[in-house]
A and B are shown apart, each in its own frame.
Chain A
Amino acid sequence: MSRLAAAAAVCLLATVPLWVANGYYVNIVSQILIYAIFALGLNVMVGYAGLVSLGHAGVFGVAGYAAAWLVAAGVGQFPAALGALAAILLTSAGFAVLSLRAAGIGFLMITLAIGQILWGLAYRWIGLTGGDNGISLSARPQPFGISLAPAAPFYYFTLIVFVLAVVSMAVLVASPLGASIKGTRDQPRRMTALGYNVWLVRFLAFLFSGFWSGVAGLLFCYYNQFVSPNVLALGSSAEVLLMVISGGSGTLLGPIAGAALVVVMKNLASAYIERWNFVLGAIFVAIVVFMPEGLVPGSARLGRWLWARLRGVPAAGGAR
């Protein structure tokens, strides 16, 4: 059943450029996929490892900066992408070594501080990053000679990476490593007693999480052909955290749904009002206060409760 649904979803996604003629909307779907990869990456930490990071935009941004800087320095697209991947892993490892000294709120605080410092560097180290002006990427890469400049080919490129990300997440979650990551979330002391190296498990989780967040950042840089300190800002970290939490953390579908919701809302909202950050903050507060388990599980709970009400059965485990 779920395989059938997954196949249907892939077919639907694969044909988007066919039934959506307008390039603008194809681009929006590309954006959703990029943010979904980002949110899936963060979800490994937030949902499965139980460690909330507010610095993932740092990894996301470093990837874009590395690629744009290398291309601007005259390195070819493919080696630049490899260099960006190396930068992603290095940044993630650095983040992990510093932040995994703490758990819970301490972890959040340290990731936030490191994220802000990376933002400060991007903003201030003008000689390297161009400061507020950012760095432009002269062209999108051309894998196997296929130009990614038009909306549709770029969409397919993003879709392939997205499917790879989803499959790798599904494999990770079902694997023994995935089980031990969830173990360190629920029972860190018991895991230690069982002989697991909790720190190492969390470190690997961070590398995996950072890797996909960085890949998303690389795609985002290709998408905009531009990178600026904005992508590293706290707002960016908060936005992707909102995607994870609003969709439902610790699920595979939740972050994807959250990414779709936030990107669509952001584009809709910016068409009518200027105050996207206000709306973002308000939704954040509302979701945390009223639907802490996320929109997907939260709506399911509300639906069950309503259905039970309609049938006149006293609600069991319904709204609190």
Chain B
Amino acid sequence: MSQWLLLGVNSVSLGGLLFLLSAGFSLIFGLMRIPNLTHGSFFMLGAYLGTSFLALGLDFWLAALLAAAAMAAIGGGIERLLLRRLAGQELAQVLVTLGLSFMIADLCLMIWGGDPIPLDTPRSLRGAMPIASIVFPTYRLAIVVIAVAVAVALWLMLERTRLGAMIRAGVDDAPMARVAGIRVSRLFTLVFCLGAAIAGFAGVMGGPILSVYPGLDADMLPLALIVVILGGTGSLPGALLGSFVIGLFYNFGQVLFPELAYIVLFLPMLLILLFRPQGLFGKHVP
């Protein structure tokens, strides 16, 4: 019994990580209409940067925030220097992000080598926490708390601030938002920076669970894709629900059908595509 419960906790904490990864992915997709294929690379690069900051002796949370800041700068640079040149050409933008993901993957391999690098769990969150006679690993609970906090903060930002209203307007109808005087291209840069930063932060957060290895980007990107197909592009509640559903399917699939875990992952996406192609919370078919 407690084994299943532990699996459930692991699922929820993976869901939290997936939410951190796919929230930015979903917003970028919703606003710019491009699936940002470097998003898995942002996650991995953030994690690698985190290992380097930790090796300098920095605190875990400081390292995670620094990695997020570095990823925001890198993401902003990519948006300004490359994607901006191709404004309006969605296909070209996708292909550029694909090319960049190869470059980042190879660069990481060059700098950090091919061996997996484990990240230590921050000291304050080691061990387990007994809640109602069941013992939970503290760090995984912390991930869930952080993911929920980020979700609430993003939701407040999107629903309650002027900036959020502008982003929602851009997601719903970018040309009309432009006509109304919103500088959508500036929003592009901002959302891209934000998405890259959260992905990089998630990379460091995931380090103690997943460790950091070449190919981490290719493992995470399809998960983000599936989450967004499931939840609907540009929808934060969709990304949240999709993340936890995929977290569950991934962990239980891994244990119940270890060889077919990918088929199990694929099922919810298949059903959604067949019966609700715009996703659970999406407004339009991508």
Interface range on chain B: under 10, 10 to 19, 20 to 34, or 35 or more?
35 or more
Closest to A285 in B: B99
Q: In the complex, are the beta carbons of B102 and A284 less than 8 A apart? A: yes
- Is A235 in the interface zone, CB < 8 Å from B? yes
Which residue in A98, A112, A241, A285 is a CB contact (below 8 Å) of B100?
A: A285
CA separation between A15 and B91, bound complex, in Å? 40
Which residue in B94, B269, B285 is a CB contact (below 8 Å) of A113?
A: B269
Q: In the complex, are the beta carbons of A106 and B85 less than 8 A apart? A: no
Interface of A (DSSP majority class): helix
- Is A278 in the interface zone, CB < 8 Å from B? yes
Q: List residues of A (74-120) whose CB comes within 8 Å of B's CBs.
A: 98, 101-102, 104-106, 108-110, 112-114, 116-117, 120
- Is A23 in the interface zone, CB < 8 Å from B? no
CA separation between A167 and B270, bound complex, in Å? 36
Q: In the complex, are the beta carbons of B99 and A284 less than 8 A apart? A: yes
Q: In the complex, are the beta carbons of A117 and B266 less than 8 A apart? A: yes
Closest to A122 in B: B262
CA separation between A292 and B92, bound complex, in Å? 8
Which residue in B95, B110, B259 is a CB contact (below 8 Å) of A124?
A: B259
Q: In the complex, are the beta carbons of A288 and B95 less than 8 A apart? A: yes
- Is A126 in the interface zone, CB < 8 Å from B? yes
Q: In the complex, are the beta carbons of A278 and B103 less than 8 A apart? A: yes
Closest to B254 in A: A124
- Is A143 in the interface zone, CB < 8 Å from B? no
Q: In the complex, are the beta carbons of B286 and A117 less than 8 A apart? A: no
Q: List residues of B (75-98) whose CB comes within 8 Å of A's CBs.
A: 82, 85-86, 89-92, 94-96, 98
Q: Which residues of chain A have C-beta atoms less than 8 A from B164's C-beta? A: none
Q: Which residues of chain B have C-beta atoms less than 8 A from A311's C-beta? A: none
Q: How far is the CB of A41 from chain B (nearest CB, A)?
A: 19
Q: List residues of B (35-56) whose CB comes within 8 Å of A's CBs.
A: 35, 37
CB 8 Å contact bits of B247-263 with A (1 = contact, 0 = none): 00000000000111111
- Is B168 in the interface zone, CB < 8 Å from A? no
Instruction: For the complex, count residues of A whose C-beta is within 8 A of B.
Output: 41
Q: In the complex, are the beta carbons of A278 and B263 less than 8 A apart? A: no
Q: How far is the CB of B92 from chain A (nearest CB, A)?
A: 5
Q: How far is the CB of A55 from chain B (nearest CB, A)?
A: 11
Q: In the complex, are the beta carbons of A117 and B263 less than 8 A apart? A: yes
Q: Given the known inter-chain contacts A108-B35, A121-B262, please indicate yes or no for A102 contacting B225, CB distance below 8 A.
A: no
CA separation between A131 and B266, bound complex, in Å? 19
Q: In the complex, are the beta carbons of A117 and B96 less than 8 A apart? A: no
Q: Which residues of chain B have C-beta atoms less than 8 A from A98's C-beta? A: 270, 273
Q: Given the known inter-chain contacts A108-B35, A281-B101, please indicate yes or no for A101 contacting B225, CB distance below 8 A.
A: no
Q: Given the known inter-chain contacts A117-B266, A124-B261, A238-B102, please indicate yes or no for A102 contacting B85, CB distance below 8 A.
A: no
Q: In the complex, are the beta carbons of A101 and B110 less than 8 A apart? A: no
CA separation between A118 and B69, bound complex, in Å? 35
Q: Which residues of chain A have C-beta atoms less than 8 A from B285's C-beta? A: 101-102, 106
- Is A181 in the interface zone, CB < 8 Å from B? no
Q: Which residues of chain B have C-beta atoms less than 8 A from A252's C-beta? A: none
A-B contact pairs, 20 of them (CB 8 A): A102-B277, A104-B286, A105-B90, A105-B94, A106-B277, A109-B225, A109-B229, A110-B229, A113-B226, A116-B222, A116-B225, A121-B263, A125-B259, A128-B259, A280-B102, A281-B103, A284-B98, A284-B99, A285-B103, A289-B86
CB-CB nearest 3 A-B residue pairs: A284-B99, A281-B102, A120-B262
Which B residues have a C-beta under 8 Å from some C-beta of A? 33-35, 37, 82, 85-86, 89-92, 94-96, 98-103, 105-107, 110, 218, 221-222, 225-226, 229, 258-263, 265-266, 269-270, 273-274, 277, 285-286
